[in-house]
Amino acid sequence: MTRHSTASGTSGNPRELFSLKISLVDEAGKLFTNSNKIPISLALYTVENPPKFLESNTLGNKMLKGYTEQDLLNGTCTFDKIQIKEVTSHYRKGMLFMVAFAKMPSFGCVQE
């Protein structure tokens, strides 16, 4: 299975909000409808090799603002009102990677 995403936004102004829709699709591009909730998180990385995780901007504030965790259910999830709190010109090639990944559940410690 592969993931497909689309983002809507405008010029790249760090004060602009945007939405991101994540779809779970099969090899033919058909929507795969999962029945279980899959927690999805967003993160930013540099385009360096190897990429570096970006948690805070040059002022020390969080890089991503908004609801950066959503449950993927029935093949889709949407992240609304996301904001990148940094201008990309501060980074190599003026670009960043935005990564959507499945978050592993935390089961805690097993007590005997």
What is the distance between the alpha carbons of residues 82 and 91, in angstroms, rounded to a whole number?
A: 20
Does domain 2-102 fall into CATH 2.20.28? Answer: no
End-to-end CA distance of the chain: 38
| Among 69, 104, 76, CA closest to 4 | 76
Assessment of whether the complete model's pTM goes beyond 0.85: no
Domain ranges of the chain: 2-102
Q: What is the pLDDT of residue 7?
A: 45
What pLDDT digit, counting tens, does each position of 46-77 carry?
A: 998 999 999 988 888 898 999 999 999 999 99
Q: What is the pLDDT along the chain (112 residues), one digit of tens a residue?
A: 334 444 444 344 556 899 999 999 999 999 999 989 999 999 999 998 999 999 988 888 898 999 999 999 999 999 999 998 887 777 778 888 999 999 876 655 555 5
